[in-house]
Amino acid sequence: MEDHSEYSPNLNIIVPLFNEEENFDDLILRLKKILNESKIDIEVILIDDGSTDNTSSKMRELSLQNEKFQSVFLSRNFGHQLALSAGLSYVNAKEAVLIIDGDLQDPPEMIGKFYDLFKEGYDVVYAIRKNRKSSILLKGAYHIFYRIMKRFSYINIPLDSGDFSLISRRVVEHLNSMPEESRFLRGMRSWVGFKQIGIPYSRDEREKGESKYNLLNLISLALNGLINFSKYPIRFTMTVGIISLIISFIYFIITLYKKVFIGDVPIGFTALLFAIIMFGGLQLIAIGVIGEYILRIFFQVKKRPLFIVKERIQNCEKMQ
C-alpha cells in the first residue's frame, strides 16, 4: 500500500460522509474529545462522497485548520462501499483502522474497547448490533438480510455485523489489494480471515438528517453480497431447472400411460397455460441471475478506477 505521508499515527478513523451537514458539528465535537482524551495517536480520515450540501465546505475548513483531520473529496457520489474503499486507500496508520458512519449511530467512543481487543491479538474487531432504532419495516428487512447472508454465503459473515469495525494494518493491505469493482466490505473482511471477534452494542437512533439507506438500498446491498459471496443464486437456477425437468418427465409418463392403457388424455388447457406461464417466469428469473453475473464481469473487465479523488487535504495542506 502506498504511503501518502511521512507522518504515521497508530490509528486512523475512517468516516464516509454524504450530505451529513446537520450531524457534522456533533460528529467532530465527539471525535475531538476522543483525540484529546485518548492515549492513542489518532488521525481521522473524512471522505466526502459527493455531498450536495455544506458537508464538503465544513470538511475543508476543518482540515485546513486541524492536522489531525485528513479530508478526501470524491468527484461524485460513488456510494458508501466505495467511499470506504477510498478511505482505506489513504490509510497511513501503523497499527489499525476504525471504520464508523458519520450519522453518529455508531458510537466512536467504543474505540477503547476495540483497540484493547486489537492489542490482545485480534486483527478484526467488529460490532454486533443488539438492537436497532429504526422503522419496523427496516428492522425486519435487516433481520432477513443478515440471516440470508448467514445461510447462503460460502464464508462466515457474522449475524448483525455491519461496517463498524476496527481492522489491523495487514487486513487493510489485503482489502486494498482486492481488485473487484463490486465491493461488499463486510464480506471481504470475513473472507480475509485472521483472528476476529465481535462486540455487542446498541445502535443509537439517528438524531439529525435522513438515513441514506432505504429498503431499495438494502435490497441492492443484499444482492451485491449474495452475488459476491454465495454460490446459491446460480445453483438455485440449476436446481429449479432440474426439478422442472423431472416434473415434466413425470407428467409425460402419466400422460403416456393414460393414452396407452386408458385411451383418454385429459385436455387440461388451463393447467397447460399455467405451466407455460410459470416455467416462462422461472426461465426469465434464471436469465436475470445469469445476466447479473455477466453484468458484473462486464464492469470488472473494463478496469475503471473504483473512485476518483478530486481533492485531498492532509497536514493542513491541499495535496491535489
Q: Would you call 250 helix, strand, or coil by DSSP?
A: helix
pLDDT at 254: 73
CA pair distance 89, 83, nearest whole angstrom: 10
Please check the confidence at residue 276 and state whether its pLDDT lies above 50. Answer: yes
CA pair distance 67, 316, nearest whole angstrom: 5
Q: Which CATH number fits domain 11-212+305-318: 2.40.160.10, 3.90.550.10, 3.30.70.120, 3.30.1300.10?
A: 3.90.550.10
pLDDT at 12: 94
Q: What is the pLDDT of residues 247-260, one digit of tens each?
A: 777 777 777 777 77
- Residues 6+ positions from 310 with CB-CB distance below 8 Å: 73, 74, 75
Q: Parse the chain into domains and list their residue ranges.
A: 11-212+305-318, 232-302
* Residues 125-129, mean pLDDT to the nearest whole number: 87
Top-confidence range, 45-59, 268-282, 305-319: 45-59
Q: What is the DSSP letter of 259?
A: I
Top-confidence range, 64-78, 216-230, 248-262, 293-307: 64-78
pLDDT at 29: 92
Mean pLDDT of the chain: 80
Note the pTM of the prediction, 2 decimals.
0.73
Q: Which has the higher per-residue pLDDT, 227 or 67?
A: 67
Please check the confidence at residue 235 and state whether its pLDDT lies above 90. Answer: no
Q: What is the pLDDT of residues 308-319, one digit of tens each?
A: 889 888 887 777
Please check the confidence at residue 16 and state whether its pLDDT lies above 90. Answer: yes
Give residue 167's pLDDT band: very low, low, confident or very high (50, 70, 90). very high
Question: Taking the CB of residue 88, how many other CB atoms lie within 10 A of it?
Answer: 22
Q: Which has the higher per-residue pLDDT, 286 or 75?
A: 75
Q: What is the DSSP letter of 206?
A: P
* Residues 5-29, mean pLDDT to the nearest whole number: 86
Largest CA distance in the chain: 92
Q: Which has the higher per-residue pLDDT, 182 or 67?
A: 67
Cell numbers at residue 179, please?
481488485
Give residue 1's pLDDT band: very low, low, confident or very high (50, 70, 90). very low
Please check the confidence at residue 293 and state whether its pLDDT lies above 50. Answer: yes
Nearest to 220 by CA among 76, 35, 81: 81
pLDDT at 292: 75
Top-confidence range, 150-154, 270-274, 303-307: 303-307
Give residue 210's pLDDT band: very low, low, confident or very high (50, 70, 90). low
Give residue 2's pLDDT band: very low, low, confident or very high (50, 70, 90). very low
Q: Which has the higher per-residue pLDDT, 131 or 307?
A: 307
Q: What is the pLDDT of residues 95-110, one digit of tens each?
A: 999 999 888 888 888 8
* Residues 178-203, mean pLDDT to the nearest whole number: 83
pLDDT at 294: 79
* Residues 269-295, mean pLDDT to the nearest whole number: 71
* Residues 233-261, mean pLDDT to the nearest whole number: 73
Give residue 72's pLDDT band: very low, low, confident or very high (50, 70, 90). very high
CA count, 13 A, side-chain hemisphere, 108: 26
Q: Exposed, middle or buried: residue 245 (CB in 10 Å: 0-12, 13-18, 19+)? A: exposed
